[in-house]
Amino acid sequence: MLEAASAPAARSYEQIQQSLQILLEEYRHSDSSCAHELAGKLRTIAQQLEGQREAPSSQGAPPCTEAALDSHNALASLERSWASSPPENAATDSRHAVRTKKKDRGDRAFAMNAYQKRYVALEIFYLGAAYHGFASQADTELTAENQLYEALRRTKLIPEEAGWQELGYSRCGRTDKGVSALSQVVALNVRSLARHGQAPLQPRDEMDYAVTLNRALPDDVRVLGWAPLPDQAFSARFSARGREYKYYIVQHGELDIEAMQEAATHFVGDHDFRNFCKVDAQHVSNFRRTVLDFRITPALQCEQLASCRVYALHVRGTAFLWHQVRCMAAVLLMVGRGLEQPSVVQRMLDIETTRQKPQYNMAAEEPLLFYRCAFDGLEWQRSLYSHVATKSLLQGFLDAHLCSASHLVAAMERLEEHASAGLSGTAAKKSTKHVPLLKRATEPALEERLLRFRPAAGMHGGQSSAACEPVRASPVAVLSTPMHDV
């Protein structure tokens, strides 16, 4: 039966689909000792399915994306089985033999030096709820970057004990705890499929780094694509020509979106944003940044709740300061609630009249999304195989959130029923008096902060030279200074 499933003659969609079904049935009746062989055969079928997408049959064969996804999911199941113990009904001596084989295979060192290196950019999506930001930190392993590093190690794409510096590593930006990213970009040297002595591979013939890494990454961190880089001069941070963020807000009718848009327009241009960021005087002395565009656009309409609409504060700029987007969002929300006038943004940007930052809380981190970072000349490699698998995974996340939202909508409807039936007593109304921003207590002036670090060398327009790129004495050593907002 295995030979029938691996027959290369399966050229039509129906034949390939039948081969896949035979192979999956064989897997269900086999123990894990066959999983490695079955996984190889399944890869062949998955490649044939992708080929069918390019050349559909004249009989109007159905799309192959669903079948390709089936093969991807089955392959992941096969590989998990290969890494685990055999079924409970397997013989004791067979179980022992499999585990011994695994141990022997693990003791054999991987010949990393036999392969060429390739300098690549990786585009990464991650949901930030479970992580303490993107960048690695000394006091926690719960960062998206740490998950990436561990996946690179497990897939043998980097040496076991390699530090960021020897990998030529750079990242486009940092994000704080709870913040998500749709298009984070990192650059580093990784193992190629080409061995030493062979000609370098064309991108189309190279390893699919997205597929390889996604099998080792948690579900809330995905590699969306990779791009070959021409030389080591590329930096994910300094080669970026722009960055975009979206901060999502919910409109229940109480926000004046037009006033918020008027205020947001004042941010556009080259300004000193010291009153709209968390001042890091130890590493930053120049607070001028350029905002290219700032608009407020509809993002999502909730049909069940007619008064509920989600908007995105969409800001695009060349670079951002630490917490800049969240501080701008906080002030815009004050304008939207009628607590401040749109002109307050102009006055706070004028550091001659507003030399010290008023004390105010920045907006929450969860609604913030690192939306895009832009580069010139990168040719992103994205496969159908990876695309379908990632889309299916994210659809599962979305479905789960929609079900949770439905529970909350049902609860809100029930509360409305209670209100319609009549409620006793009076509502406790908590009112807090808003103190205008320009009349609040202020933080220390920038000049006062700079005096504390005057002896420090290396100050420049952005950060100290030590903060430009991550430097690791060991794989877990980290850089604690911020690069960008959020």
Residue in 31, 70, 93, 176 annotated catalytic: 176
User: Which residue in 7, 1, 72, 71 sits closest to 34, CA to CA?
Assistant: 1
| Those residues with Cβ within 8 angstroms of residue 208's Cβ, 6 or more apart along the chain or in another chain | 381, 383, 385, 386
- Active site (annotated) includes residue 293: no
The residues that are catalytic are 176
